[in-house]
Structure 1
Amino acid sequence: MFIDAVTPPPIEMVIQEEQICTFDRKIGDVTGDGIDDFVYLTGHKKSPDAIYQEGITISVVDGVTNEVTEQVLDLNGGYGSALFLGDFNQDEISDIYVSISSGGSGNINYYYIYSFKDKTPVQLLDYQSLNQLYEWSVRFLDHYQVEVINDTLNQTYELNLSFKNKEFLQKYYDSEGKTREGVEGEVLPLGGLSPIMTPRGKGAYSLLSSQVIIGTAMVDHLGVIEIYLTYQEGKFIPYDMVIGEQGNIK
């Protein structure tokens, strides 16, 4: 049951704590009793106008009893934290997805998914598990080619950089297209993790992750790795992968 006309009560009314900040809020049944709950993302800031968020916590207020269940996230803090509710673990109850920005130049982000079924927080995903999913190597080849190697699966993909502008290519190749000495690349940690709807029905979601492939400088984007994941047997399992030049993947 979704309550369109109901406005969530201020979290300060049900959580007695000084200087608590509400970063985001949603309404939906996350406990599985068929009644909508009030879901908050709360924490602290150094000052009212600060943008850095600390002590980020998921707070679920039961839609019937106002009982509060909390889960503190295991990171120091970040920027622009946000909530999304959807069924990721296929139990027909909405789970709680949280995204938080690191605020750095690499556009690296942190993600969590929790089930609050029966008012018991259970972590379904954290960003570190996806960052550790595969080991990657990036190697420049002559004639404006780059090898992206999935060392975990022993699979190699090639990128063609010939479309890049002259200034960019001169950093990595000489006038004959030969690779300069000492140039190398890497795959950055998780930059994006988007819920994607599945054929299972309304409110059912899988995930699409993205990681940027860079050269020697953070701003030198070579391409992107996109991995599709679905929840099976207690964890998110990759079922498809696409690697291509930045901007050519849709």
Structure 2
Amino acid sequence: MFYYPFSPINPAYLLTQQLKENTLILDFKYGDVTGDGVFDIVYLIGEKNFGEESSFIENIRLVIIDGATYFVEMISFESDGGYNPRLFLGDFTGNKVDDILISIFSGGSGGMSWYYIFSYLNNKVKKLFDYEVYNNEYKYQVNYQDNYKVEVISENLMKKYIIDIQDKGEEYLSKLYDENGKLKEPIQGYVNPLSGLYPIDYNGDRVYELFTLRRVIGLYNADSLGVVQTSLQWKERDFQPWFEYLAVYGSDIKEKRI
């Protein structure tokens, strides 16, 4: 059972009195992140230059107000600038205490985003997920092959996927293949860093897993060949892959088929 402690002081008002004039409360959530059975208040704050039309936010920080003591904890992280920053509270580890997911869109042409998950159990800050660590740890190979195929290898999971690119068009394919479908020279693509990460309770047990998206890139960033979809599940000390798929884009059909 959770309860809200009574206080004549509004925590949001208390917080805003300590911030710079250009600092905004970007998002906030209620939940028990300390594990004491009392709802805490979690804020995402950041700074914006009000003289500019851009919606870019910088110096984004996490602020936790302990619901029982009103102790304020401010947490910084490395990638602290971007667009549309938001919070999600949920149990990712199975200890029945809310963890804190932070999502920030980079705004770049690659469609990448920054993601962090923090635990604040017993008022101790612990980082459970860092998008940069994940991007660097999980590696892929993207190799063009003869006969208009692209091989994607997931090195960590030791999985291989094949993408058929015959529908890419003659102009695209003629630059890469001869008239017999043989590659003119070796060509590699790549897999982009995270562009999406979503909390999903697959098992309906109120413990959330992570659903991640990474684009498979061919010759250039706008040349998307597919999307690696990996689901992560907490295992003792970190998130581990649970299952992984490669989704491919469909091509248009000129006539309706029955």
When the two structures are superposed, what TM-score results if normalisation uses the length of structure 1?
A: 0.87
CA distance in 2, matches of 1:148, 1:243: 9
**Local SS of the residue matching 1:77:** coil
Letter in 1 for 2:217: I
| CA pair 175-115 structure 1, distance change in 2 beyond 3 A | same
RMSD: 2.4
Task: Tell me if the contact between 1:2 and 1:28 (Cα under 8 Å) persists in the aligned partners.
Answer: no
Counterpart position of 1:134: 138
Counterpart position of 1:11: 12
Counterpart position of 2:63: 59
**Local SS of the residue matching 1:14:** helix
CA distance in 2, matches of 1:2, 1:172: 64
Deviations 1:109-165 (A, max 9, x none): 110000111222111111012112222211111221001123345543211122334
2:181 counterpart (167, 177, 195): 177
| CA pair 41-215 structure 1, distance change in 2 beyond 3 A | same
Q: Which segment is superposed worse, 186-195 or 143-152? A: 143-152
CA distance in 1, matches of 2:166, 2:3: 52
| CA pair 247-133 structure 1, distance change in 2 beyond 3 A | farther
Deviations 1:9-55 (A, max 9, x none): 46352351212211111111111121211111012122265411111
State yes or no: 1:70 paired with 2:71.
Answer: no
Task: Tell me if the contact between 1:55 and 1:76 (Cα under 8 Å) persists in the aligned partners.
Answer: yes
**Local SS of the residue matching 2:82:** strand
Gaps of 5+ in 1: none
For the pair shown, the structure with the greater C-alpha radius of gyration is 2
Gaps of 5+ in 2: 252-258
Task: Tell me if the contact between 1:52 and 1:79 (Cα under 8 Å) persists in the aligned partners.
Answer: yes
Pairing of 1:1-250 with structure 2 (within 5 A): 1=2, 9=10, 11-14=12-15, 16-19=18-21, 20-47=23-50, 49-181=53-185, 183-199=187-203, 201-202=205-206, 204-246=207-249
**Local SS of the residue matching 1:82:** strand
Task: Tell me if the contact between 2:3 and 2:37 (Cα under 8 Å) persists in the aligned partners.
Answer: no
- CA-CA distance at 1:178 after TM superposition: 3.3
Q: Which segment is superposed worse, 67-76 or 11-20? A: 11-20
CA distance in 1, matches of 2:164, 2:3: 49
Q: Sequence identity of aligned pairs in percent? A: 37
- CA-CA distance at 1:171 after TM superposition: 4.9
- CA-CA distance at 1:166 after TM superposition: 4.3
Task: Tell me if the contact between 1:14 and 1:66 (Cα under 8 Å) persists in the aligned partners.
Answer: no
Count of residues in correspondence between the two structures:
243
Counterpart position of 2:255: none
